[in-house]
Every structure is written in structure tokens, then in C-alpha cells.
Chain A
Amino acid sequence: MSGLPRQAIVRILLSVLLILSLYLLSAATENSSRFGRLYLWLLLINGVVLVVLSGLIINNLQRLVRSLRARETGSRLTLRLMALFVVLAVLPGLVVYGFSMQFLQRGVDSWFDVRVENALEDALALSQASLDQRMRDMQQRLEEAARDLADVSQEMAPITLGDLRARTGASELTLIGENGRIIAASSMDTDSILPNRPEESILLQLRQGRPYVGLDPIENAGLHIRALVRAPGPDGPGNTRILQGLFQVSPRINDLADEVETAFSEYRELAYLRGPLKDSFILTLSLVLLVSLLFAVWSAFYLARRLVAPVSRLAEGTRAMAAGEYGTQLPPAGNDELGFLVRSFNDMSRRVADVRDAARQSQTLVESQRAYLETVLGRLSSGVLALGPDGTLRTYNQAAVDILSVPLHEGTGQPLSALVQRFPDFSPFVEQIDAHQHEAEGEWRAELSLDTREGRRSLICSGALLPGEGEGGGEVIVFDDVTTLIQAQRDAAWGEVARRLAHEIRNPLTPIQLSAERLQHKVGNRLSGDEAALLQRATETIIHQVEAMKEMVQAFSEYARPPVLQLQRVDFNALVQEVVELYRGQAAQASIRTDLDDQLPWLEADPGRLRQLLNNLIRNALEADAGGACEIVVSTRRRSGRHAGGVELDIEDNGPGFADAMLDQLFEPYVSTKPRGSGLGLAIVKKIVEEHNGSISARNVEGGARLSVRLPTGENGQ
């Protein structure tokens, strides 16, 4: 803060101006000769200030009421402070005002004393009474003079008047005609040409027959007694003239009367001015007080608001903080305790915001780590499951879904056993986990076979407890699909066996056969009868058996021989139809039903090998001991989901199904449960499938067995 705010400076300036104007006002009241008309202007200006202040106060009050109604922060505190300030300012002001008024009234009144007033009035009355006697004397003298004038004509009047003036001692005698015209005049004062005329009302009184006598203050000449009497003329009483006489009062009496008059007049004037004096003092005092009080009230608004502002800002800041707006900063509020409070609030708010930012940052970090981990898990070929401490599924990766062939997302947040109810194939896996969980050991490893929708799979599972207590704990299970690995190992072993067997067995077979034929040829002619027949039979048996062995070895060698595929575009449905037709006529006791997908894509394959595959599969199905009418369903469909674009061929029979122990080795040579057959059928099927980069699986279904062959399409499936 750089000193006082501008508003405060303005107010201080205003108050100085106001005090100046009030001072001038009181000075004008005291001494109006110096300030003269300024008083009126000051009065007006102060009146205007009064009204403006009232307007400002009303405006402020309205604002306060409005903010009270709107329940704005700090409005109630402002009201209380306001009320306090106003009471503090107004009450003492009013008390002082009351006392001042009383002192003023009493003080001014005390200058005037009833006794003094009465004394002055008595003095005046005394003076008048003393002059009254003299006035009557003068009137008498004038009446006598008037009688002397009765016989005097108008022409003689000036001379007679001069004599009469000297006799009566008047300073001026004037004879006035009936019509008010001056007939003659005689004056002691030779300077003045014109006689002092009486006023019309006095003449009127004389004409009505009443004489007049009275005092007349004549400027520069002192107090005079003016007396007027009727003066009948020589023409008779009808033509009445008027004689006026002005008599000087003796100088001594004149001075005294003048002093009494002056004192009385001044006292009367002062007494009269007492009212205006009080009025102007009261007016000034009231105005000063009112302006000061209103200024104080107006300033009280300002002060209250200024005091409350930091508090209400604090309240609003706290409210904002409560609403989650951390980091709210309030403007500084001086160096007092409120300022300290505001600074503390700002510090606190800043720190809270910092902590929130840090928390947000670490959350982002955790989330990015989590995303990183999920990406890593997603790219893993091993399946990963994370279970909560209560055995519920928390996290898994895509590989886990692929390997288990179970939609794990449906079981998130539930125990794995919940999924088992809908996917029974899944149960061995769950049992394995449960078993280890109940043992509560740290880490475990296990192998298990799982009969999935995609075929039987061999899995290697390992589990470990996750660190942390409560929410953080749980178990992680990692498992790998080792089916193809095991299969490949077995295939390799069998390939080697077949190659060797073919090599080692085929070589001696031809000499054996040739030897048997030669024996027949050479010896048979020499023998007769039964011996010849025996030989015949024996050699034939040898030759046949050798032939059979040759075929067997041939088959073996074919099994072991690397594929030479002649790939071309194949309509798989047509091929299936063609092969099935062959069997329809042949196997009367079997019914073969086909369920072929119209939308099947073309395959890039060797049709000869595929035909062999189909033959082997159908034969295998026909050979299943159904115990009654053999029913075979051959279906093709376009694959969807992960393997979209491929072709799946299912062959289902209604036989007894595969023995459980055999399922793992079903596609190995010489594994057969059937009374007939070479034991190579399914091995060859598997080999053909693998030559076409496909996969085969077998599983038992309700009321039989199902073999599923999945073949990929060529370039783009069409």
C-alpha cells in the first residue's frame, strides 16, 4: 500500500473544505460586515452539502439494505459497525447540540433585563410627561396669539406675526389659510425661506375644530414643539385660519430628551435583534452540527465498509476454498491484524493449491505408469490375471482372454467362480487357483489342461501374492499356452521315428518279398499236393504281409515327408459337398448332414490334400462306434472375432466321444480307440492342417465328439 487510498484523500479534502466553509459560516454570523453576502452563499453551499450528504447516505443505506436482502458477505457486519459508528457520532453530537442550544437561548436572553427595559420606558415616559406640561403652555400662548390675530388682515399679518413670535418665544410662526395656503410666516431662522409646513392630517384635524400640539424632531435643529390652533380672521368665524407655532425646547431638556431617546431606541433595537441573533446562531449551529453529523455518518459507511471489506473478502475466500477453488488470493489489507489474517489466508490457500497440484501430478504419473503397464501386459503373450485379496478379478490382459477363451470383462469385480457358472470349461483353471489360494503359499507353479472352446490347451500357470495390505494385496497369476510347444516337440519326435522306421524297414522288405516269390517259383513246382499248397499259402502270406508292411511304411514315409503343396483357389464348400457325396452312397447306415455357410471365403489350398483331410475326418467319424445309427454333421462357417477371415470346419458324430486320457495325444500316430484303422488318420489330418497353417482341435460335446479344423484364407480371404 502506498499511503492512503484515493477515496480517503478525497474524504479528508472534503472534510477540510467543509470545516473551512463552516468556519466561514460562523465567522459570517459573528461579523457580517466582513463577509456580507458571503453568508447567504455559505448557507446555500452548506445546504447543498447537506442535501448531497443526505442523498449519499440514503444511497448508501439503500445499498446496505440491498446487500442485506441479498445476504451478501459482510453486510450484517457492516450494519452493526455502521450502527455503532452512528450511535457513537450522533449521540454525543446531539447532547452537545442540546446543551449549546440551551446555553445560547439563556445566554442571549440574560443580556436583556426586564428592569432595565422598564427603567428606560419610564425614563421615556418621564421625559414625555415633562414635555407635556410645556406643550400645554405653548398651546395656551399660541391660542392667545391667535386671539390677537383675529382682527389682523392678511396684508398686516406678516408684521403682526413677527411681533407675536417675539412675544410668544416661538422659533417660527405660520399663518395658514382655509385652503392650506401659507398666508404669512415669521421665523427666527433667517436662512430658511420656506416655513415648515404641517402635514395634511394635522390640518384636517384643525378643520374639524381640534387643536394640535406635539413634538417634532427636526433635523439639525433639535426637538421642537409644534402647536396648531384655529385663528379666526376679520371676516368672521366662517373663514378660519390656522396658526402654527414651532417652539424650541430648552437646550438642556433637548439634550436630556435626546439621550433618553437614543438609549431607549438602542435598547429597543438590541432587544428586537435578539430574535434574529438567536436565529442566526441557531441556524449556524444546527447547520454545522447537521453537516458534521451527516458527514460523520457518511464517513461511517465508508469506514465500516473499509473495515469489513477484508473480513468479507476472507469469508468469500473461505467459501471459495470450501467449494474447491484452491489457490484463491485476496488483495492485501494493510499491516494490522486483519492484514496478517489475509496474508495467512493467502499463504494457506497457496499451499493447499500446491499440495493439490502435487497430488494431481502424482496421479497423472500413476496413471501414465498404469497405462505403460497395461501396454506391456497387453503385448505379453502370457496371460496375466490379477485378483483382489477377496479373490475378485481385478485386471487381466488380452492374452489371458485369448488363452482362456472366456470373456473376462464380464467377470471383472467378481470372483472367478462367478464366471465358472456360465463357462464350465473354465472350472479346472479356477479350481487350480482356489486350491493354491487356500493353501496361502507365496508362489506356486502348476500345469493343467483346459478344454476351451478353441480346443484343448495345455497351460503352465504360476501365481504369486501381490505386496500390500487390504486393497493393495491380492494375487497375480501368469499362465502360458504351451499346447503348440508340446505338440511341436511330439511332432518332431514322431517325424524322426517315421523317417527312421521307413528307412530301416523298407530296405529289408523287398529282399523278403523277392525271396518269398523266388521260393514259390523255384520250390513250388517241385512240391506236390499239400506241401505245394502250404508253400503257396505261406509265400502268399509273406508276400501279402510284406505288401502291407510296404504300404504301412509308405504311409509313414508320406507322413514324415515334407509337404509339397500345389496351392490354388479352392471353393471349400464345393469340396466338402463332393467328398460327402462319395460317402452318402457308400455308408448306408450313416446319415451325413451338411450345414454349410454361404458366405464362406475362398481358400488358397491344395485341393488334393484337403480332399484327403476330409476323407480321413469323415472316415474317422464313421468309424466311431455309435452303437446305433451313425449321424454325422459336417458344418462350415466363416470365422469371426480374433480369427476373422478364416474358415472353420466342424465334424460332429454321435459316438461315445474321446476318452479323456486320449485327448492330449489324439493327433499322434498310432493313437486310436477304434477297432479298425491305421492309427495315422488323425495324425495325417493334423499334418495337412498344419501344412495349411491351420489348427485342429478335438473336444467332446454333448452326445458325441467334435473335431474342429480352422484354416486361414489366402491373401485377403476372398
Chain B
Amino acid sequence: MASTMPVWTSASPRAALLVALLCLAAVGISPPAAGFSVASLEQRFANGLLVVDGRIDYSLTATATEALESGVDLVISQRLSLDRPRWWWRDVEVVGQERRYRLAYHAMSRRYVLNRLASGESRSYRSLDALLTRLGTIEAWPVIGRDRLDDQQTYRLRFETELDVDALPRLLRTVAWASADWQLRSEPQTLEVRP
């Protein structure tokens, strides 16, 4: 930026201003480094299946926790995909799976409820930490049958998780889009898979 600035100013101060503004805006809405992070991610083959184990540190911001305790449901998605890299074109996505969980606070029982949206499976926890720990534990997530993988090929496993802002109540959504407190997502984690 610093090296390009003089060029911009000599060319057109207004253009430079615009660029600086866009940069500022980009910085303003970029997610914070902390929040969700993938602590470990491992792949193994078990019973002819490629399965993934992992541990994710979920840590909600104070804003998100307050919203949760005020009755706002949060949705966290975990997305796992297996890609076949191609040097000459975009990678091929062999498998793409997503797990979505709804986090809610049950005021009557004073418990936190974790609900897996696809299966409707639900568990309640006495503390948010317990819930997040459970959420952050991935045990044997089946990805694909080994027979469907090419032995000669190297695959790339990719995992990311984020708070789904679009699933927030509409009033909160507008604020959430502009607020860093709501931009909770992990850096994408990748693993090389050789069958």
C-alpha cells in the first residue's frame, strides 16, 4: 500500500481515496483471528471408510453468548469436503458434507441445548462450555468409502466451520453482517489423503 500510494496520488487523489476506503472497509469486516479454530484434524481408514477425527476450539464472543442467553438461537455449520486437486483447472470436489447444529438456551431448565439439524438429535448441557466441547469433538466422521478413491491419486481433505450469520434473526443479521463480533469462522484446515 505504502509503495503504491505515491503513484495513486500522482494519478488521481480521488481514486486513491476510494482504494483506501475499500481497504478500510475490507479490514473492518474481516473476521478476527480468534473465535473458532481447528485444534487437530486427523484422517484414518476404518472398516473400508475414510473417517475423520478432530477437535475444534469453539469460543463464542461475549456478544454471541449474550444473544444466545437472551433466547437467540445460533447455528454453527461444519463443512468437510474431499477434493481431487488438478494443476490445470479447478479442483474436483469428490465429496462435500455439511453438519449444521443449532445452539439454544432453555430458560426453564437453565440448560443449553445442542441440536443437530439434519437428524433432529438433541442433547442438553448444564454449561455452554460443555456444549461447545461436545460440539468441538468430531469422532469418526465418515467421509467416503475407500473403494471410491483412486489409489494413484492424492486427495485433499478440507474442513471449516463457521457461525451462520444468515440463520440469525433478521434484525440481528443486518448488524451481524457489519460487526466483527459475529464473524466467527475457522481458518480452513486441509489434510492430504493418500488411499
Contacts and interface: CB of A to CB of B under 8 A. Distances in A.
Interface of A: 28-29, 31-33, 36-37, 39-40, 43-44, 47-48, 51-52, 55-56, 59, 124, 127-128, 131, 199-202, 214-220, 223, 257, 260-261, 264-269, 271-273, 276-277, 279-280, 283
A264 to B, nearest CB: 5
Contacts of B67: 272
Nearest to A202: B126
Contact of A280 (B29, B110, B171): B171
B126 to A, nearest CB: 6
Interface stretch (B15-23, B34-42, B138-146): B15-23
A44 B171 contact: no
Given A55-B14, A219-B120, A273 B171 contact: yes
Contact of A32 (B13, B25, B120, B173): B173
B175 A280 contact: yes
Contacts of A51: 17-18, 21
Interface in B96-119: 105-111, 113, 115
A39 B177 contact: yes
A650 B124 CA distance: 152
Contact of B18 (A29, A48, A202): A48
A36 B111 contact: no
Interface in B56-76: 66-67, 70-72
Given A56-B14, A219-B113, A264-B108, 8 more contacts: A39-B174, A39-B177, A40-B29, A40-B177, A48-B22, A52-B17, A52-B18, A261-B107
A269 B122 contact: no
B171 A276 contact: yes
A131 B110 CA distance: 13
B178 A201 contact: no
B125 interface: yes
A59 B109 CA distance: 62
Given A124-B107, A199-B126, A219 B174 contact: no
A214 B22 contact: no
Given A216-B109, A217-B108, A269-B71, A280 B126 contact: no
Per DSSP, chain A at the interface is helix
A194 to B, nearest CB: 11
B170 interface: yes
B130 interface: yes
A218 B114 CA distance: 11
A257 B21 contact: no
A273 B18 contact: no
A52 B14 contact: yes
Given A52-B14, A217-B111, A280-B171, A272 B122 contact: no
Nearest to B172: A276
A123 B148 CA distance: 57
Looking at B71, B105, B169, which has the most chain A CB atoms within 10 Å of its CB? B71
A309 to B, nearest CB: 23
Contacts of B147: none
A43 B179 CA distance: 12
Interface string B147-189: 0000000000000000000100111111111100000000000
B172 to A, nearest CB: 5
Closest 7 A-B residue pairs measured CB to CB? Answer: A219-B122, A272-B70, A215-B109, A269-B71, A276-B175, A268-B71, A265-B71
Contacts of B66: 272
Interface of B: 13-14, 17-18, 21-22, 25, 29, 66-67, 70-72, 105-111, 113, 115, 120-122, 124-127, 130, 166, 169-178
A273 B126 contact: no
Contacts of B169: 269, 273
A32 B171 contact: yes
Contacts of A40: 29, 177-178
Nearest to A47: B25
A216 B112 CA distance: 10
Contacts of A36: 166, 173
B111 A201 contact: no
A59 B17 CA distance: 12
A55 B17 contact: yes
A201 B120 contact: no
Q: Which of A257, A267, A273 has the most CB of B within 10 A?
A: A273
B115 to A, nearest CB: 7
A277 B169 CA distance: 11
A266 B110 CA distance: 15
Contacts of A261: 106-108
5 contacts: A201-B127, A272-B71, A273-B172, A279-B175, A280-B174
Best-buried of A29, A199, A264, A266 by chain B (most CB within 10 Å) = A199
A28 B174 contact: yes
A200 B133 CA distance: 11
A31 B169 CA distance: 11
Contacts of A124: 107-108
Given A32-B173, A202-B126, A268 B17 contact: no
Contact of A277 (B18, B124, B171, B178): B171
